Amino acid sequence: MNAIDYREEVSAQDAQAVRRLAEESGMFNSDEADIAAELVDERLAKGLASGYRFLFAEEAGTVQGYTAYGHTPCTRSSFDLYWIIVDSRLKGRGLGTKLMAETEKRVRDLGGTRIYVETSSREEYEPTRGFYVHCGYRLEAVLQDFYAPGDSLHIYVKELT
């Protein structure tokens, strides 16, 4: 693994990189990959007023993972982590954990005191839920059958100290 560069600036090519990461992960359907890519477009169109911040992790100029996050409207200092995706071929090498820590550092610098992240109760998201717990997030709430019957929403939170 080469050195990882972190980048906050967003460019037009990032929409494609984000779509590729979402599709290759096997965790998202094409509607969800569209939504992930649209977030990049909205950020490009509106700048920080979009409410979306990005952190890209690059190795030798190639995007290997990213997070999308932002201040939660109408809250004093809560942030949402909207997306975290890491190149599926790099899973297990700790890039996700590093990307999360780098994102939390930036949220803290922006005055954020807590980060919320949402995921599904479905079995295929068990590694995702385990990843959040590994990163120090705790399950704060469950919305039963939110996504569909038998598919609940799990809301995790981490208090930044």
* CA–CA separation, 18 and 13 (whole Å): 9
- Considering the complex, what minimum distance in angstroms separates the CB of residue 12 from a copy of itself? 21
Nearest CB to a copy of itself, comparing residues 29 and 97: 29
The residues of the shown chain that bind a copy of itself, judged by CB under 8 A, are 31-32, 35, 72-78, 114, 116, 140-149, 151, 155, 157
- Considering the complex, what minimum distance in angstroms separates the CB of residue 7 from a copy of itself? 27
- Considering the complex, what minimum distance in angstroms separates the CB of residue 38 from a copy of itself? 10
Nearest CB to a copy of itself, comparing residues 66 and 156: 156
Strands (E), the chain: 5-7, 53-59, 62-71, 78-86, 114-120, 138-148, 151-159
Nearest CB to a copy of itself, comparing residues 35 and 90: 35
The dihedrals phi and psi of 4, each to the nearest 5 degrees, come to -100, 130
CA separation, residue 80 to residues 16, 112, 149, 155 (Å)? 23, 10, 25, 11
Nearest CB to a copy of itself, comparing residues 4 and 44: 44
The dihedrals phi and psi of 152, each to the nearest 5 degrees, come to -95, 165
The dihedrals phi and psi of 36, each to the nearest 5 degrees, come to -60, -45
- Considering the complex, what minimum distance in angstroms separates the CB of residue 133 from a copy of itself? 17
